[in-house]
Structure 1
C-alpha cells in the first residue's frame, strides 16, 4: 500500500488568519494519525505564513508516524531539520515569494549543491527526497546526488487528468520506472485529490508515498476530516 502523508500547512493557515491557537496543528496531527494516515508533512517557509518553526518543534515531539519536513535548504532550514530529526526531509526549490511550490529541482545544474546538503542529512540518519518534475533526465541526475527518494511534482498530472488521464500519467509512470530501476524510492505530491488519486495509484506500481494537503483539507470541509483521510487510504490500497 502507498503511504498517505497529510500536509497540515492549510490548518496552520486557518489558525494564523485569526491568531491564537485554533485550530491547533498538533491536535490536528494527532487526529489525522488516529484516522489512519501514515505520515504528517509540513512545509515551513521563511516568512512562517502557515507552519511556524515552533510548530515544527512541537510536532516533532508528538508525531508517532513518519514526520516529513519540506523546504528550500537554506541554512536556517537545514538547522531546523537537524534539530528536529524527522523521518524524511524533502528538498524543494521554493523561491521566497512563491505562493506554493511550482517547480522541481534541476538536478543537473544543482547536483553539487544537492549532494552536499543530502550528505549532511544522511549523516544525521534522515531519509532524503528531492522534488522533481516528471523528466527522465532530472530523475537520472537525482541518483547522482545520493538521495534516497524523489518526489514527483504532480501539478501537471492534476491539470491534465480531466482531459486525458492516460496522457496525463504517462511521463510520471516512465519516471517512476526509471527511478525504481536506479534504486530510488518514489514519492509524489501537489494537487492530488480524491478525484484523481485512484487512477494515479493504479498506474504507478512503485509509488511509496503521497503527500496531500490542500485538496484533502478542502474536501474535509464538506465530508469531515476522518471520512476524507479514510477515503484516501481506501483509494491507495
Structure 2
C-alpha cells in the first residue's frame, strides 16, 4: 500500500542491544523485515565510522534481504561513499558525525561544506542512489541543498522534540521553523523528509506539515518494541501519522 506520508524505521539500536553482549542477536536484519511486514515503507541504517551499532555485514545483508527501500545513513567520507557505491541502496542520507556524540546531534552544515559535499552528491546521484542531506530547518541550508543538487532534504526535528510538551506552547517556534523550511524546500523542487526524537506524543504536528513526504523514526520505536513488540510499535506510529494527515 502506498502511503501519502511514508514511514522509515531506523533499526540501529537493535544492533546496539546485540553489540552490548557481542552476540549474534537480536538481528537488525530480522528487525527490518518485521518492521516492513508491519507497514514500514523503508528501513534506515546508519553505518558509523566507529561501527558502534550497525556493521558492514549488516548493511550487506540488509541490501540483499529487504523488499522495501534501504536508506543508508552515512558520513561525508570516501570510505562511506565506497560502501554506498558497492551496495547501491535505494537512498543515501548524508549526516554529520562526531565520535564523541551519543547520537546525531544536529544537521550537517551543507552551507559551509559545499565544496566537500558536491563530489559525494554527484557520485551518488550518478550511481542512481537517491541523495538526501540531513539539515537544520534553516533557509541557508535549504539554499545549499539546492545548489548541491540534492533531490531530498531531511529536516532535523531534534530541537522540536526536546521542547514539545515541556510547557504549553513550547516547541511552537521550532515547529514554525520546520514548517517554513519544508515549504521553502518543496517550492524549490526538493522532497522533504523529517526525523529525530519523534514519538507517539509529538509526531502529529510534524506529520501534519503538508510538504513532508517521509518520517524516519528509530530509537523510540525500538524502545517501545520492548513492551509491545516491534510490529505493534510500527503499526501504532503509522496510525498516529495517518491521523495527522
Which band: TM-score by shorter chain?
over 0.9
Do residues 130 (structure 1) and 142 (structure 2) align?
no
Q: Secondary structure at the match of 1:13?
A: helix
Do residues 175 (structure 1) and 181 (structure 2) align?
yes
CA distance in 2, matches of 1:24, 1:106: 33
- In the other structure, the counterpart of 1:210 is 215
> What aligned pairs does 1:49-198 form with structure 2 within 5 A after superposition?
49-162=52-165, 163=167, 164=169, 165-198=171-204
CA distance in 2, matches of 1:96, 1:10: 17
Match of 1:220 among 212, 225, 228: 225
Structure 1 residues 4-13 or 155-164, which shifts more? Answer: 155-164
CA contact (8 A) 1:112 1:145 kept: no
Structure 1 residues 162-171 or 12-21, which shifts more? Answer: 162-171
Q: CA deviation at 1:97?
A: 2.7
Q: Secondary structure at the match of 2:20?
A: helix
CA distance in 2, matches of 1:136, 1:168: 14
- The ranges of structure 1 where at least 4 consecutive aligned residues each deviate by more than 6 angstroms after the TM superposition are none
- In the other structure, the counterpart of 2:21 is 18
- In the other structure, the counterpart of 1:232 is 237
Q: CA deviation at 1:126?
A: 0.3
Q: Secondary structure at the match of 1:68?
A: strand
The gaps in structure 2 that reach 5 residues or longer are none
What TM-score results when the alignment is normalised by the length of structure 1?
A: 0.96
Q: CA deviation at 1:116?
A: 1.2
CA contact (8 A) 2:110 2:144 kept: yes
CA distance in 1, matches of 2:100, 2:73: 16
- In the other structure, the counterpart of 1:199 is 205
CA distance in 2, matches of 1:82, 1:98: 26
CA distance in 1, matches of 2:178, 2:161: 12
- In the other structure, the counterpart of 1:46 is 49
Structure 1 residues 106-115 or 209-218, which shifts more? Answer: 106-115
Aligned pairs, number? 236
Q: Secondary structure at the match of 1:144?
A: helix
The gaps in structure 1 that reach 5 residues or longer are none
Q: CA deviation at 1:222?
A: 2.1
